[in-house]
Chain A
Amino acid sequence: MTMAPDAPFEVPPASDGPAILEARDLRKSYDLGGQPIEVLHGVSLRVTAGEFVAIMGPSGSGKSTLIQLLGGLDSPTSGDVFLDGIDIGRSSDDEATRLRRERTGFVFQSFNLVPLLSVMENVALPYTLAGTDPRRGEAAERVREAIALVELEGKERHRPDLLSAGEQQRVAIARALLMRPALLFADEPTGNLDYTTGLDLLGALWRACVERGQTIVLVTHDAKAAAFADRVLFVQDGSIREEIVLGRRADHSAAPLIARLASLGL
């Protein structure tokens, strides 16, 4: 899948602008049989606007918990999360919900789509939830753009069960990008896809970052997926063990990242 004509393009440098996402000393505990189990131990990080950051780590490292806290899907036990300058932790549920609708987009590993709605309706969901008719005016234009962005023109009326897994994820990306969010969170978006489709999907995310300045936070266990990012945060046992700066690269080779991880014994 390509998002632009297949021609060389200039690769802008990784952004070092203002922080669009900041986490300070994040901790998260769960109560298990009366005993508190801490899965995140004081994580702090900073993501600047236009950056593509990957949070990588083995299964059970706490990376999914971290992205859920960063995206406002869950509340930390302690610590703060600032999203576009707003302290998510101190927001009410309705405020957090509005923030999610207007400022962020989410792509999950699976079950991203509402099975009862068509492609067009799934993509337009943020507008619909906000009470805006997605069939008229600017909203309709944006919906068409988003569907075109993921190259699913002609499938607007299809239900999810008529799409392949890759097409479903592209619909999810289109929805996530619809409102031109400040941040796009993707939690293992290629987990259920085959290798080629997964690479296509990651390429689409990278181009959104490069061409539209979209800030992306990607969670993955796969180094090849993390290699698309400008910077990789390696999470292990609930803490960020290592930060690896890859820079903005057009070839997305995973070799440097793998070598670096190997040298660190990760």
Chain B
Amino acid sequence: MRRLSSLALRTVLARPARSGLTIAGVALGVGVLLAVLITNVGIARGSERAVADLLGAADLRVSAFEERGLDAASVDAIAEVEGIERSTASIDQQTYVLSTIASGIAESVDPVRVRGVDPATFGLVHEVRLADGTTLATGDADVAVISRTLADELGLTVGGEVTLLGDADLGPLSLEVRGVLAAGDPRPVGVDRTVLIPLATAQRLFGTDGVHAVDVVVAADASAEAVTAAIEQRLVTRPYIVATADELTASLQGSTAEFRALAAMVAAVVLFVAAFLIFNTLSMTVSERLGEVALLRAAGATAGQVYRLVLSVAALIGVVGSTLGIIVGVALAAFAAWYVRSIDGFPIDEMVVPPAAIVIALGIGFLTTVVSGIEPALRAARVRPVEALRAGRDQAVGERARLRWLIVVFAVVAGAAVLLSPTDVGPAGIIRSLIVYGLLLIAALCVPLLLGPLGRLVGLAVRPFARAEERLSRGSIARDRSRAALSAGALGVGLAMVVGLATVSNGARAAGTEWLADVIPGDIVVTSIRPVGPDEGIEPELRAVPGVARVTPFASIDIAHEGARLSAVATVGRDLLDDGRLRFVGGDREVALAALDAGGSTILPRAVATRLGLSVGDDLRLTTAGGSASLAVAGIVERSMPGSTGEAVIVGYGDALERFGAAGADLFAIRYAADAPTSTADTVDEVARSYALTPTPVGDLEGSIGDALDHILGLFDAVALLAVLVAGLGVANTFAMSVIERVPEIGVLRATGMTRRQVGRMVLVEALMLGGVGAIVGCGVGVLVGAAMIALGGGRISALPLPSPGVLIAAALIGLAVPVVAATYPARTAGRIPIVRAVAFR
């Protein structure tokens, strides 16, 4: 058996290029898998660190439910709860930095995050790491500690001055910079623009007497549950939410669940394609060595020994490839972490390579390789000793690989992928992944049937230029359909994933555009980082701009229904009616929007209505900052405005201001008149910026939605392209083998008058035909994969979603180009075979 093991090693070394390409394919597959595992761990740790940064040593956070915050009585009540060791209150608000008081215009385009903290207690709960200066002290007033990012951006040092835009009544407030926080934040770059100021100063700055949160450290001899229950009994004056660190972490991680699930899915697809490569390579090795295997059998080797020999070859490739895959995986993970940070994606921690991830990646890589080798091993074991007596046997017409075995290989990889999928996507996410894998498997198994007709179709384009080459290429493909199908199938699977992701991106972009068109009654939206009250005069000033037809306020408020948080948006029904917004699927449009303005009514998005089991005419009982309320469901719409917890319930603007505790509008949608002068947009822009509001044309909103999607899905597309690369490695192997098998045929062709160039062209035309089949299958199945991912992800499909034409063209070109590039060297080799050697080849 030891001698057979050394034979396995020699088999691998006998074809260094083929073995090298296969090992590279395994390395890429395992590398992507490891990169995904490391990245997902990084995101999980990043979420934990973000929450730790938020809560510090606190076990609980009591958050205000409304804009005006928790009152002093609530804060005192919390402090007196038994089981609380220490607590600290804070305000969290966004505002702008002003460069000069005189100008009154916000200098900084991006808002800063102001945390008003109690200097006496903040340091007991939160760690304050300073790079320079000192922290806030009890009794301090107009002082600030700023983040490193902000200090660098504004060129501020200890002793300098920072001016913040405050409440309309107070105006801007200048603060002395007392200290600079040390760098180190798991959140994406650019978000760490924090200013710490004393709580009283913050209350003065923002014209409030409340706090937004109280962070609580539970005593060692108490439990978080008991403290939570006690808090719930004591807090009766203002609405609030209590969350533990684990709940906040889970919520943050939940927002990244889709990303992580998609990453796992793409990694599985790369591994699938690597499995194709391994299966094909081992099949070719068995076909090539059938005579040798027969000799071994004739000499006395048992079928079991032959089986184990081929599996040893697979195992050797698996070990080497998986080990190299670790290096590839670490490099890919480093790139992924950098990319996620650079696009302001999710919180992601510094890269750490967990040993468990390495073990899992190695194990799955090895298992995939060995399972892929089982069918070729069984085939080799079935070779009869008498085959050794058949000299000059055409190995090309030997036993063909049974592609049905791919089902087993797919099952193994899919099983591993499902086990590695994040658990927080739930069964729906896992089913979605399995359906996508299933579609890809079906496509792969259909390729042998499609090879002939699609090959002819592609050949039609080539025939006018290279008739002989096209005819010979078609015949070569037909010679070993299994091998050709594996090559084209691998390419098709990789391209299907690329096109599928592009379809999802395009579908999401289209949905985003449709959604904006459905709900926004304006050409431009003007947003504010704080609610704009009706008495501040901003809305009338915007209305007064010549050319403005309508200014519609939108206010975001938080409500709760049966203990669960719901998003709500308050607006003016009349404006939506006049502008033709919202698509009603239940209730009368005019009646519902009028009811909104009259008060006491609500309009629900379809998803929420279905979830809550409500219809037109039912009552929605909810809790708001202003107390409990019951609203009549006046209508149900296809889509609504987005809120923090999903699509928002629509309520009347008057209700929001008078009953639900809204302080004002967070956003104005402005519609221009049909005959508005060209200067209207500029004037609106000027007025908005004078109040530190941010104007954004709706078209730009669409663009930024699309850009955000492209950034995230672009990463996955790049990973999916790795699958195409692995498929290319498989094609290179296939053609190298094909050329070897066809040496005698090439000799006859050359002797009959085929030029070297024609021989090379023949190989390239075959590659083009395989690539064409792969591209057609990939693009077609890719659209189906994209549709499945959209539909199963909760999206609605009215027509088959398509990627952009550019993506389809690019995918087709890649599908054609990759095999041609991969076959270039074998084509050149084929043309250079000396005729006499080819003719004498056996």
Contact = CB atoms under 8 A, between A and B. Distances in A.
Interface in A46-105: 68, 71, 73-74, 93-94, 97-98, 100-102
Given A108-B839, A113-B748, A97 B472 contact: no
Interface of B: 392, 394, 396-397, 467-468, 471-472, 474-476, 478-479, 744-745, 747-758, 834-836, 839
A129 B468 contact: yes
A189 interface: no
A175 B747 CA distance: 15
Q: Which 4 A-B pairs have the closest CB atoms?
A: A101-B753, A116-B475, A128-B468, A73-B835
A108 B840 CA distance: 10
A121 B392 contact: no
Contact of B475 (A94, A97, A114): A114
Contact of B753 (A98, A121, A161): A98
B472 to A, nearest CB: 7
Contacts of B392: 110-111
Contacts of B835: 68, 73-74
Interface string A132-168: 0100000000000000000000000000010000000
Most buried by B among A100, A101, A115, A133: A115
Given A115-B394, A115-B745, A128-B468, A97 B755 contact: yes
Contacts of B750: 97
B467 A93 contact: no
B745 A97 contact: no
A125 interface: yes
A74 B835 CA distance: 7
Contact of A106 (B394, B744, B751): B751
Contact of A74 (B467, B755, B836): B836
A125 B745 CA distance: 12
Nearest to B840: A64
Given A116-B472, A116-B479, A74 B752 contact: no
B467 to A, nearest CB: 6
Contacts of A126: 752-753
A131 B467 contact: yes
Given A100-B751, A121-B471, 8 more contacts: A71-B751, A108-B748, A111-B745, A111-B747, A111-B839, A116-B745, A129-B749, A175-B752
B754 A97 contact: yes
Given A74-B835, A74-B836, A111-B744, A94 B472 contact: no
Nearest to B750: A97
A125 B394 contact: no
The residue in A94, A97, A100, A121 that gathers the most chain B C-beta atoms within 10 A of its C-beta is A97
A112 interface: yes
A120 B750 CA distance: 19
B246 to A, nearest CB: 66
A117 B745 CA distance: 11
Given A68-B836, A74-B834, A128 B751 contact: no
Contacts of A74: 834-836
Contact of B752 (A94, A101, A131): A101
- Secondary structure type dominating chain B contacts: helix
A173 to B, nearest CB: 13
A130 interface: yes
A158 B440 CA distance: 38
Contacts of B744: 111
A102 B754 CA distance: 11
A118 to B, nearest CB: 10
A121 B468 CA distance: 10
Nearest to A105: B752
Nearest to B475: A116
A263 B481 CA distance: 58
Contacts of B747: 111
Which has the most chain A C-beta neighbours within 10 Å: B467, B750, B753? Answer: B753
Contacts of A71: 751
B94 to A, nearest CB: 72
A114 B755 contact: no
Contacts of A114: 472, 475, 745, 748-749
Contacts of B397: 115, 161
A229 to B, nearest CB: 22
A73 B753 contact: no
B471 A128 contact: yes
Contacts of A128: 467-468, 471
A101 B754 CA distance: 8
B829 to A, nearest CB: 15
A117 B397 CA distance: 14
Contacts of B479: 115-116
Contacts of B475: 114, 116-117
B839 A73 contact: yes
12 contacts: A68-B836, A93-B756, A94-B757, A97-B750, A97-B754, A101-B753, A111-B839, A113-B748, A115-B396, A125-B752, A128-B467, A131-B468
Contacts of A94: 755-757
A39 B467 CA distance: 40
Interface in A11-29: none
Contacts of B745: 111, 114-116
Contacts of B476: 116
Give the residue among B394, B474, B749, B751 with the most A Cβ atoms within 10 A: B751
Contacts of A112: 748
A33 B69 CA distance: 92
A112 B744 CA distance: 9
Contacts of B752: 100-101, 106, 125-126, 129, 175
B49 to A, nearest CB: 63
Contacts of A131: 467-468
B777 to A, nearest CB: 23
B599 to A, nearest CB: 82
Residue picked from B758, B836, B839, most chain A C-beta under 10 Å: B839
A73 B837 CA distance: 10
B467 A133 contact: yes
Nearest to A108: B839
A100 B748 contact: no
B756 A129 contact: no
Contacts of A73: 751, 835-836, 839
B464 to A, nearest CB: 11
A100 to B, nearest CB: 5
Nearest to A69: B836
Contact of B478 (A102, A111, A116, A175): A116
A117 B471 contact: yes
Contacts of B478: 116
A86 B324 CA distance: 57
Contacts of B754: 97, 129
